[in-house]
Homo-oligomer: A and B are copies of this chain.
Amino acid sequence: MTAETALAPKHSPRDYKSDIKPVWCPGCGDYSVLGSITKAFSELNLDPENVAVISGIGCSSRIPAYTDCYGFHGVHGRSLPLAAGLKVARPDMTVLVASGDGDGFSIGGNHFMHACRRNVDLTYVVMDNRVYGMTKGQASPTTEPDWDNALTPGGSGISPFRPLVIALAAGANFIARGFSGDQNGTAKLLKEAIEHPGFSFVQILSPCVTFRPDQKTWKDDVHDAAVDPTDEIGRAARRLMTDDGFNTGVLYKGEREAFQPPIGEATATVADLEGKFAL
Contact = CB atoms under 8 A, between A and B. Distances in A.
Interface stretch (A12-20, A46-54, A55-63, A160-168): A160-168
Interface string A84-108: 0000000000000000000000111
A241 B169 contact: yes
A169 B234 CA distance: 13
User: What is the total number of copies of this protein in its complex?
Assistant: 2
A171 interface: yes
A174 B190 CA distance: 37
Interface residues of A, number: 36
A144 to B, nearest CB: 13
A166 B168 contact: no
26 contacts: A106-B114, A107-B110, A108-B110, A109-B113, A109-B114, A113-B113, A113-B161, A113-B166, A117-B141, A117-B159, A117-B161, A118-B158, A119-B159, A157-B261, A161-B170, A162-B169, A165-B237, A166-B169, A166-B170, A169-B169, A233-B242, A234-B242, A236-B241, A237-B237, A237-B238, A237-B242
